[in-house]
Structure 1
């Protein structure tokens, strides 16, 4: 999985878009995409997935398809970066592809067109599907952050059995928060985000339960060594800090006073944004 995920890492494609805007390219703020465009389409995709009672991880996969497509150098990807109608079509088609691959139900092009309220025809959706798959080089089965979280937590020591449900719940929630935040898109591995989510969840458990945290931290440290991940790295601390803030804002769990290892607080957040 670790080797495979390297093929699914994105670069900062919005920086490329901003470079076009800064240059004398003829593009305007009303046509090129930005973080707000991404946030709105992410919310829409999660809403559709929830309304149809599909797996929320499918929405995460759809957003990964979209981000990677926008990193591509194909003419269609360039149009999607500079034309918001094309971007919307690409986002909807990525959801259509993700559902087709991961779900037992059928979300065909006609229904997807209806979800767009007629803005995009079934023919446009199927044509975009082909262009996206070509741009992705048909790499559509990469490991997700949620999968990394589950694999790591399955290896918890027996002494942590009582806190496992809380760790799963909080870690899963943070992986979904990361999907909607563009700061977690450029140059970050899914496994790193997963590890940061678990570390934050362990902090919540320490505050609310009588748990041998040192034993759990040692467990995560041993896993991270096996994965060649450094839980004390500035990048992990920066990811944790941003997730902590989002978690506190979106849930009833107060994580604002949660300490990071080695006294390293949110001063590293600039590494993410």
Structure 2
């Protein structure tokens, strides 16, 4: 247990010194608010960032990588943007933004799973932005040098694992721990893809996810588990106020996801108005079908060696911006 606490202190020191991010988009917006920028439409926003993070998770899920690989990619991406944007007045061309995001994902996959890592050529095809491999090679060096080659830092989920390991097995049995961590993994995805939460310290996000998971799972020894956890971490250098802030925001996100939408009933309409309404819908469906037909199917092999899978790409990340 002492060794585990020492390891956690190392991780906490690591995140403080090398893996901090903060509200880099908000800070940049304050600096450029009074500037008359002709290309303000290309100012990086929280929406750009969050949608690209969701794309990370979609890609890792499709290729059967662990979800935490996406969280690692988000860490690379946030830190890269936080260091690059100040020198660019918060402005980044969408092509540069896409290429940086794709490269951060590639780096995360390469670091975490070298045996089944997608080739750079495959990654270039996945984004369908007409990049060449050379573009990605150059961006990889830019990302690595910008991050100081620090590409293996702690993630919120890794902190969830370490925090849960502080709880004795007599209070939190193995099966309950497994269920708890599964819930944590889902919550960390929500957290990472929400700018106001995902840019906080990984330890704060991880602890907030674990506490919320304990609340959601309603384990038999939930109160004892929480009490022991709090007693174990009291001497660690945590950001208490930030943990509380993350918990409140995550609770709101979780509530929105789990609250069913209200059922609405439309009044009956006349046959004439029904035909009038149907015309634009038919036109919309026709255009959507055409866009699907025009899309390319990229055949890729599953990293686990399974049969080939078809991934309808359609420039998915292009739709985010």
Compute the TM-score of the two structures, normalised by the length of structure 1: 0.82
2:283 aligned partner:
none
Distance 2:64 2:247 in 1: 30
Gaps of 5+ in 1: 254-273
Match of 2:228 among 216, 219, 224: 219
The corresponding residue for 1:258 is none
Does the 8 A contact of 1:148 with 1:194 survive in 2? yes
Rounded to whole Å, the distance in 1 between the matches of 2:226 and 2:157 is 20
Task: Find the counterpart in structure 1 of residue 182 from structure 2.
Answer: 169
What CA distance in whole angstroms lies between the structure 2 residues aligned with 1:181 and 1:48? 18
User: C-alpha root-mean-square deviation of aligned residues, in Å?
Assistant: 2.3
Distance between the aligned counterparts of 2:207 and 2:90, measured in 1?
A: 32
Q: Distance in 2 between matches of 1:81 and 1:65?
A: 19
Match among 244, 254, 259 for residue 247 of structure 1: 254
Give the number of the structure whose alpha-carbon radius of gyration is greater.
2
C-alpha distance in structure 2 between counterparts of 1:154 and 1:22, whole Å: 46
SS in 2 for 1:227: coil
3-state DSSP of counterpart to 1:82: coil
CA displacement at 1:112 relative to structure 2? 1.4
How far does residue 80 in structure 1 lie from its aligned partner after superposition? 7.9
Segment of structure 1 superposing worse, 196-205 or 19-28: 19-28
Higher relative contact order (CA 8 A, sep 6+): 2
Q: What does residue range 138-149 of structure 1 map to in structure 2 within 5 Å?
A: 138-149=149-160
**Cα 1:118–1:171 shift into 2, 3 Å:** closer
Cα deviation 1:101-133 (Å, max 9, x = unaligned)? 111213222111111214322111110000000
Match of 1:39 in 2: 50
CA contact (8 A) 1:93 1:125 kept: yes
Task: Count how many residue pairs are aligned between Structure 1 and Structure 2.
Answer: 246
